[in-house]
Structure 1
Amino acid sequence: MLLITALAVPFTCTMTAGVADSSSISEQGLLPDGTLYSLIRPVGWNGTTIVMPGREELTGDVPRWLGEQGYGVIGYELSDNWNLAQDRSNASSAVDIFSETAGIPNTVILSGRSQGGLVTRIVTDAAPAWLDGSVPMCGGGAGAISMWNTKLDSAFALRELVGPDSQMSITRIQDERGEQAAMNGLVSTASATNHGQARIVLAAALSKIPAVDAETGEDVPAANLDKRIAEYTDAMPLALGIGVRAGFEQTVGGSFSWNHGVDYRKELKASGRWSEVQRAYREAGADMEADLQTLANAPRITADQIAVSTVERLATFTGNLEVPVLSLHTTGDPAGATAEEEAYADSVRAAGDNHNLRQTFVGADGHCTFSTAEQITAIKTVADRIENGHWVSTSPRSLARTAKAAQEATTIKLGTTRFTTPHPALPGRPWDVRNWDSYVPAE
């Protein structure tokens, strides 16, 4: 594979846009800031290019299928410490590199997973002229303020109810390894007693940590409380995201999460899990009211106003969609509940652009655990929307038919499809453009 270094100068491209070519290009190089990228232009390129933040190696069956079907692909490495401004800028750099190296695309679709999914939403919100459509997968629909505030809520409940003298600081993390150890200790202590397990249920409710059966992809039945508790317990470390928070705080120069002024009784009732938490406490023989009072009396956490302002403009949303967007989200993602998609939809509705948004869900446990079939179906659906000027049905049945047709047209094993419609859930502590500049630190 050829390694080239892209110079940090404007590109002057003389290639023809979207011309099918008898030759193929496959190479790896560096974006202007030194970020690794890989690029593929297949034989008979169809003029559409998929930009994939977080897929710098372009390995696996998704890029393989895209190339087989005539799509150009460029993937680039994501930053450490959630440097989302760098990741956003590099999407445009990737398009420039593809245009210089392989030809100017007629159509560009952006699609990333996890951090790359959040970057996809951020770039889409910025509406660069080169963008024609987006497929964000499992990444930050509520925006970074809401996302990290609800993670704080779960962490705060865990600490204050299980070990208020714990060394877990929750925000302004100085010792990531020590913070992880403190959190693991709290989870271990809580899981050892019935009362502690009830407290895990309460903490999980505040950020809507899911309980999905890994075998069936279905929600664990409400009647099986023991299994739901086990799912919450296993998910807690990923759900709290300590390592990511620590890095993001370094990048933006302070803490962007707070809970002063938060009424946890109100938040718990709004979570949709009040009855489950009541049952967990009742079966444990524990006093839920006493624990809610403990949370009400506990000293609160403030954020740094400059950091909040930075994150607002970097990674929360205006809801303005200039291009079609189809999101993909697993129902059992502990890193971000499906309620985040409702938060995103609410921002888009408020901006009047809901005609450009479709949201799809996969019944599966885990973070970004999509099959190849599910990913390529989402990308193909947006490509068809761009080409035809209107959406086809994005119902689970219609998407499954699209995936079946794609499988019949290739020898690549695309895997199963598990498209579903989840139960709606209200987002916790939403924060978008309508809230910008309203945060005031507690005195």
Structure 2
Amino acid sequence: MSPTSNTGSLTDGARYQIEVPDDWNGILLLYSLPIPVEPGRPPWPPEDALIGDLTGQGYAVAGAANTIFWPLEASLSNLEALLEAFTAVAGAPRRTVSLGLSIGGLITAAIVERYPGLLSGALPMCGNLAGAVAIHNRELDMAFVVKTLLAPGSELALTNIADAESNLALATALLDEARTTAIGRARLSLAAAVGNIPGWFTPGSPEPDGSDVEGRSREQIAWFEEPGFLVYFWAREQVERQAGGNPSWNVGVDYRRLLETSIDRDLVVALYDIAPISLDDDLLTLEVTPRIDADPAALDYLERHIVFSGELGGVPVLSMHTDGDGLVTPDNQHAYADVVRAAGNDPLLRQLFVHRAGHCSFTPAEVTVGLDALLERIDTGAWPDLSPGAMNAKARALGPGRQGLRSGGTAEPGFFAYEPRPFPRPWDIRDVRRRQEVAKSSAR
């Protein structure tokens, strides 16, 4: 067949795109998109290297654009229409595999649970796999520390954001001022620590040594500057608009405990010593400051879109994450593995980690060998050798042209053995059920 490129609009107006190579291998990759695009724009640009790499290997790719920051509801409801559009263009696929990056990784895992029987396998990469409630609580925790310690009397809104643009401008000015002083940098690091933000930002760069306090602080703050504050102080307004209120809370949260279990504890202690100010005093301030509660109806919405149950419907899932990701931290993988294990489905799940800074900073070679491993599991019923040595050798064998980073430059294959920290405040189907039981008991 000749190569096919097809675009169109779904019933809700979302633009979709379908790419079918002339040597299509019969496998459809449902590509879940990570970030919104402007209305009317296609889901990915023509120069998207990942799409070109996948179609170059014989895979067909189909995806629909997101126009809002939290696209779970629309993305899941659009799926059947997207599949119908693909079948009309190319016929029924031999296999359907879902993959996605970032929020697209979350959507990928959601498809596994919400569409049993559809997929042969799933490859969520750098995904928010702790689920919607947990990740927005984590973002609130960091924002709460920022405002409480750096701008307690300001108009900075943490929830119920009325003017997202003004709120982000205020937060950005606050960050610009705080980073210029030792006290400000210490308090920013404490805010980052409650969310396990690494002190490593630039893809392709070596990880700062543990003793390099200044370097790690600078890299940690870069996570706030680049995507972090945009998410905490601007994008939350879109989430609240869809949920019909604030779905997050920090009532009862022990920030002292979150610091003690954080990957950044030693960095925070070192920066407070340099400042020098009392870390204990700041933790006490956090303890006594009035907290924020969630709107129950908004929380219900976020639990539907989505927290995970660990029910995989027999579908093998291979997840991938970099350890130096400060936007969607690798502890998301710990939360996902825990709920999958609790559901008795851990034989279906494998997780790969790449030693590299950056959000979704995989090379085409790393994505390819991950996808190859998943397909081997689908074909044979057994997981192949996923050891770092085996995976790196396979990625390296694909040649130097497949080792490029989206941010520029190249990187050696980086698979390594890694055990992520527990997610600071997990929330999955078990927590949903406990909340429902408490509500029933209170109503009696």
Same fold per superposition (TM over 0.5): yes
Return 173-182 or 372-381, whichever deviates more. 372-381
Aligned to 2:388: 396
Aligned to 1:328: 320
Identity of aligned residues (%): 34
Residues 390 and 296 (structure 1 numbering): CA distance in 2 closer, same or farther, change over 3 Å? Answer: same
Task: Tell me the SS of whatever aligns to 1:334.
Answer: coil
Aligned to 1:32: 11
Task: Tell me the SS of whatever aligns to 1:81.
Answer: coil
Asked if 1:161 is matched to 2:157, the reply is: no
Within the candidate set 361, 371, 377, 2:353 is matched to 361
* Counterpart residue type for residue 185 of structure 2: Q
TM-superposition CA deviations, 1:17-66 (whole Å, max 9, x none): xxxxx333222222233221221222232211111122444643332232
Within the candidate set 429, 436, 439, 2:432 is matched to 436
For residues 385 and 94 of structure 1, what CA distance do their matches in structure 2 show?
Answer: 26
For residues 431 and 234 of structure 1, what CA distance do their matches in structure 2 show?
Answer: 28
- The answer to whether the 8 A contact 1:162-1:189 is kept is no
Task: Tell me the SS of whatever aligns to 1:359.
Answer: strand
* Counterpart residue type for residue 224 of structure 2: M
Aligned to 1:202: 190
For residues 394 and 301 of structure 1, what CA distance do their matches in structure 2 show?
Answer: 43
Q: What is the CA distance between 1:423 and its match in structure 2?
A: 5.0
Q: What is the CA distance between 1:378 and its match in structure 2?
A: 1.9
Residues 326 and 27 (structure 1 numbering): CA distance in 2 closer, same or farther, change over 3 Å? Answer: same
For residues 169 and 412 of structure 1, what CA distance do their matches in structure 2 show?
Answer: 44
Aligned to 2:290: 299
Counting only pairs closer than 5 Å after superposition, residues 187-226 of structure 1 correspond to structure 2 as: 187-212=175-200, 214=202, 216-226=204-214
- The answer to whether the 8 A contact 1:38-1:58 is kept is no
Q: What is the CA distance between 1:216 and its match in structure 2?
A: 5.0
* Counterpart residue type for residue 228 of structure 2: A
Q: What is the CA distance between 1:128 and its match in structure 2?
A: 3.1
Counting only pairs closer than 5 Å after superposition, residues 127-206 of structure 1 correspond to structure 2 as: 127-206=115-194
* Counterpart residue type for residue 227 of structure 1: G
Counting only pairs closer than 5 Å after superposition, residues 22-421 of structure 1 correspond to structure 2 as: 22-54=1-33, 55-57=43-45, 59-212=47-200, 214=202, 216-237=204-225, 238-240=227-229, 241=231, 242-322=233-313, 323-407=315-399, 416=411, 417-421=413-417
TM-superposition CA deviations, 1:80-138 (whole Å, max 9, x none): 13131111122332222212220111210111112211211211222432211111111
For residues 204 and 403 of structure 2, what CA distance do their matches in structure 1 show?
Answer: 21
Return 207-216 or 115-124, whichever deviates more. 207-216
Return 183-192 or 194-203, whichever deviates more. 183-192
What are the ranges of 5 or more consecutive residues in structure 2 without an aligned counterpart? 34-42, 405-409, 440-444
Aligned to 2:420: 424
Residues 413 and 223 (structure 1 numbering): CA distance in 2 closer, same or farther, change over 3 Å? Answer: closer
Q: TM-score, normalised to structure 1's length?
A: 0.88
Q: How many residues align?
A: 418
Q: What is the CA distance between 1:379 and its match in structure 2?
A: 1.9
TM-superposition CA deviations, 1:392-411 (whole Å, max 9, x none): 12222222222234449xx7
For residues 419 and 179 of structure 2, what CA distance do their matches in structure 1 show?
Answer: 28
- The answer to whether the 8 A contact 1:133-1:325 is kept is yes
Q: What is the CA distance between 1:272 and its match in structure 2?
A: 4.2
- The answer to whether the 8 A contact 1:58-1:75 is kept is no
TM-superposition CA deviations, 1:167-209 (whole Å, max 9, x none): 1111111111121122122222322221221111111110011
Task: Tell me the SS of whatever aligns to 1:363.
Answer: strand
Return 115-124 or 72-81, whichever deviates more. 72-81
For residues 370 and 82 of structure 2, what CA distance do their matches in structure 1 show?
Answer: 21
Q: TM-score, normalised to structure 2's length?
A: 0.88
For residues 176 and 402 of structure 2, what CA distance do their matches in structure 1 show?
Answer: 43
For residues 333 and 29 of structure 1, what CA distance do their matches in structure 2 show?
Answer: 34
For residues 359 and 198 of structure 2, what CA distance do their matches in structure 1 show?
Answer: 11
Q: What is the CA distance between 1:375 and its match in structure 2?
A: 2.0
* Counterpart residue type for residue 164 of structure 2: E
- The answer to whether the 8 A contact 1:78-1:87 is kept is yes
- The answer to whether the 8 A contact 1:331-1:361 is kept is yes
Task: Tell me the SS of whatever aligns to 2:13.
Answer: coil
For residues 117 and 424 of structure 1, what CA distance do their matches in structure 2 show?
Answer: 17
* Counterpart residue type for residue 393 of structure 1: D
Residues 273 and 26 (structure 1 numbering): CA distance in 2 closer, same or farther, change over 3 Å? Answer: closer
- The answer to whether the 8 A contact 1:159-1:186 is kept is no
